[in-house]
Amino acid sequence: MSGHPSRDDLAAFAIGGLDEREQRSVAEHLEGCDRCAAEMRERLAPAVAVLAESVEQVEPPDSLRESVMATVHQEAAAESPLAEGARSDAEAPARRGWRAWTPAVLMRPAVGVAALALVVAGLIGYVVADGDEATTETVPLAESPAGVGGNLVVDRDSATLHMHGMGQLPEGDVYQVWVADSAGVQPSAAFVPHEDGTATAAVPEAAGDVTEVMITHERRAGQEQPSLERTVFGAKL
């Protein structure tokens, strides 16, 4: 476009009223013209926003929210390297046990030693001494990209999971802890987080020979299989 678009053209552009070619041309002009961009941002865009708000408000169906959020949760889980491992293994049912949950980052040497070292460093436990005798081991669990993390505190014959960053749940839903050992996968505690996103759950199974801990969002407690598409956290021990 040579020169600036006219005020008529800018107004028509703002409401999508130009022909396709002109619409593109003005859009390109705005990319490089501060003056016209300011006119658009400060004068026209607010008027267009008001126009968009001017329609009678209609209540959307509940199914819309459910369907949008199902996709969002599924894709968020897929973005997480931990859940990526869970998902890819869920697609290969012959594999069982902890390998089924191992983060992809740990399963693919090609990802690199540095990444592996980072994850492992986050998982190395430290020992809290009680007098001369070490009685409690605290295993930090590396925080997920969504900010979910915590510690697993293991005594001789018990273990407690302390989590933070857990999102609030719809009424009736629970977070379900799953543990894996060489024999396979089993459900452990189910819990609902506090308002501040923290939660504490007794997971006695983790005091044994457990190799992984995972948390899924379930519609109700008592599930026998994890809903892998709603994985919110996972860590190798």
Partner 1 sequence: MNLSELQRLADEDLMPRIAAKDPLAFEVFYDRHGGAAFSLAYRIVGNRQAAEDVTQEALISIWRSGARFDRARGSVRAWTLGIVRNRAIDLLRRDSGRAPKLALDSEELLEKRPADELTEVEALRRETAREVRGALSDLPDEQSRVIRLAFFGGFSHSEIAQMLNEPLGTIKGRMRLGMDKIRASLAEGVYE
The residues of the shown chain that bind partner 1, judged by CB under 8 A, are 6-12, 14-20, 23, 37, 41, 43-61, 63-65, 67-69, 71-73, 75-76, 79, 145-147, 165-168, 193, 195-197
Q: d(Cα 31, Cα 33) in Å, to the nearest integer?
A: 6
| Residue that the structure tokens 């293994």 belong to | 89
> In 56-168, where does DSSP find H-type helix?
62-79, 81-90, 104-107, 113-123
Task: Kindly tell me which of 37 and 116 has the beta carbon lying closer to partner 1.
Answer: 37
In this complex, which beta carbon is closest to partner 1, that of residue 168 or of residue 182? 168
Beta carbon of residue 173, minimum distance to partner 1 (angstroms, whole number): 13
Nearer to partner 1, 50 or 110 (CB): 50
Closest to 82 measured CA to CA, from 122, 127, 125, 113: 122
Least Å distance between CB 29 and partner 1?
15
The b-or-e profile of 198-214 (16+ CB within 10 A means b, else e) is: ebebebebbbeebbbbb
Q: Which is nearer to partner 1, 145 or 184 (CB)?
A: 145
Measured from the CB of residue 87, what is the shortest distance to partner 1 in angstroms?
15
Q: How far apart are CA 5 and CA 20, in angstroms?
A: 15
Task: State how far the Cα of 186 lies from the Cα of 226, in Å rounded to an integer.
Answer: 9
Half-sphere exposure of 203 (CA within 13 A, CB side): 31
- Residue closer to partner 1 (CB basis): 52 or 183: 52
Minimum Å distance from CB 229 to partner 1? 12
* Residues in a beta bridge with 231: 216
Which CB atom, from 75 or from 209, has the smaller least distance to partner 1?
75
Cβ at position 164, least distance to partner 1 in Å: 9
Q: List the alpha helices (DSSP H) in 80-225.
A: 81-90, 104-107, 113-123
Report in angstroms how near the CB of residue 41 gets to partner 1 at its nearest.
6
Q: Report the nearest approach of partner 1 to the CB of residue 86 (Å).
A: 16
Nearer to partner 1, 47 or 134 (CB): 47
Q: Please provide residue 142's backbone torsions phi and psi, each rounded to the nearest 5 degrees.
A: -55, 135
CA nearest 116: which of 91, 88, 137, 85? Answer: 85
